A and B are shown apart, each in its own frame.
Chain A
């Protein structure tokens, strides 16, 4: 064993971390988010342990819905990252493709990727836990659609960052959804959040989507105003996301990041 070689390899990673703020933030980010998320979940179950009659069913259904959101957003980002990793990015942008065509192709492909991952998960919950997400009935379609639109919108935000800043933005691609998880009120009602965060959370469609899922599962009440609020917010975010993508493309053309993005 050579101490020098061990120190050498340690330094190789130490130099990399100390010179990269995104890497340092990434190290801090995950534990912080995990603690916040599980802190709110624990707080909720401690205060309202009798809230759910069917805890497993509600938690699993919300987990599936959240995973659908997660998969659709990550799928969208992955399609973009694949082009960067394979150094094919420039080839795509010298092909005669309009931005609208790129977005449409990614939206369609992301849906297929998401469904491939999610359908088996939905199918095994029934024999394993005796739970069927289909109990949500017709509103389930609207919930999935709303989650998909929001997932795609987040994908557009992250892809805009990738377009503009290149692979340095990759970590944000992975962590964007976890940042929203505590505020999205996936496993607990919005009232569990401190007042300030409640105001922030009301600006997210996730709160209304998961509130609606819980309303159906726990109270057997369909509240279409939640679905409507989610769609209105989704429309606003989608518009901003698409505009940002166009803006990032224009900025990337000015700054030259389309040329060497894969390098």
Chain B
């Protein structure tokens, strides 16, 4: 299977603090890789380095065979990102926001793309509404539409269903599942929802204190640690790590 993303010995130091310590992993084409870990464990820092937002202290990120540090602009055309901590301008309508990002990503047929995403993500009823007036579920779908506007081959999802009601959360999960298969995307999913990770991800990385403390398929990890589900594995690994510290 072709490797879309290769992360090699990636590290980030802020002054004397090591936020990420020599982590390595790969994401295959058409794979959703889960990234699990407690708050402040280095997930966002890792994603930021993969997106070229943050310069690594050591190591490198290779995407489609190219180093992100040397080919940031050309690679960003093929990537996108969604996070509940980043918003779209509230005073712009949904359609205006999508037009802006369509332009920024150099999308050729913006109207057709917006129409397609509106149908798939059920945006039609509020496409002309101001983004700031939407419910959190609607905003989430708009952010997802923005993240898909450029038909990325690599997608970074940071807690994509945080603060969503179960119905909307399920809709978003189903959509991610479907689109990743259809478009053969490589997705890095950072989440605190273990059921979501188990449902969507083929492989999982467990991160703590800036290092990958375990990895495998959800079933492998559950079996290896003798637990009933991924949440128990997560708790065990993090408590062990806490005690070790």
Contacts and interface: CB of A to CB of B under 8 A. Distances in A.
Interface of A: 82-83, 86-98, 250, 253-256, 258-260, 262-263
Interface string B55-89: 10000000000000000011011011101011111
Interface string B84-97: 01111111000000
Contacts of A260: 85
B146 A91 contact: yes
Nearest to A258: B53
A87 B86 contact: yes
A250 B87 CA distance: 23
A87 B79 contact: no
Contact of A93 (B14, B53, B85): B53
B229 interface: no
14 contacts: A86-B89, A86-B90, A88-B89, A91-B86, A94-B51, A94-B76, A94-B81, A96-B104, A96-B105, A250-B55, A255-B14, A258-B54, A259-B48, A260-B85
B55 to A, nearest CB: 5
Given A93-B53, A96-B73, 11 more contacts: A88-B88, A88-B89, A90-B81, A91-B101, A95-B76, A96-B104, A96-B106, A256-B12, A258-B54, A259-B45, A259-B53
Contacts, number: 72
A97 B52 CA distance: 12
Contact of B44 (A87, A250, A259): A259
Pick from B48, B86, B90 the residue with the most CB of A within 10 Å: B86
Contacts of A92: 104
Contacts of A255: 14
A91 B87 CA distance: 8
Given A91-B86, A96-B104, A253 B80 contact: no
Contacts of B80: 94
The 3 A-B pairs of least Cβ separation, nearest first, read: A96-B76, A95-B104, A87-B87
B76 A88 contact: no
B45 A87 contact: no
A206 to B, nearest CB: 34
Nearest to A93: B53
A262 B84 CA distance: 12
Interface of B: 12, 14, 44-45, 48, 51-55, 73-74, 76-77, 79-81, 83, 85-91, 101, 104-106, 146
Contacts of A86: 87-91
Nearest to A263: B85
A88 B44 CA distance: 17
Contacts of A93: 53
B52 to A, nearest CB: 8
Contacts of B74: 96
A38 to B, nearest CB: 37
Nearest to A92: B104
A88 B87 contact: yes
A254 B45 CA distance: 11
Nearest to B80: A94
A250 B72 CA distance: 13
B168 to A, nearest CB: 21
Contacts of B45: 256, 259
A254 B55 contact: yes
Given A94-B79, A95-B104, A97-B104, A259 B88 contact: no
A84 to B, nearest CB: 11
Contact of B54 (A89, A259, A263): A259
Contacts of B53: 90, 93-94, 253, 258-259
Nearest to B82: A91
Contacts of B52: 94, 253
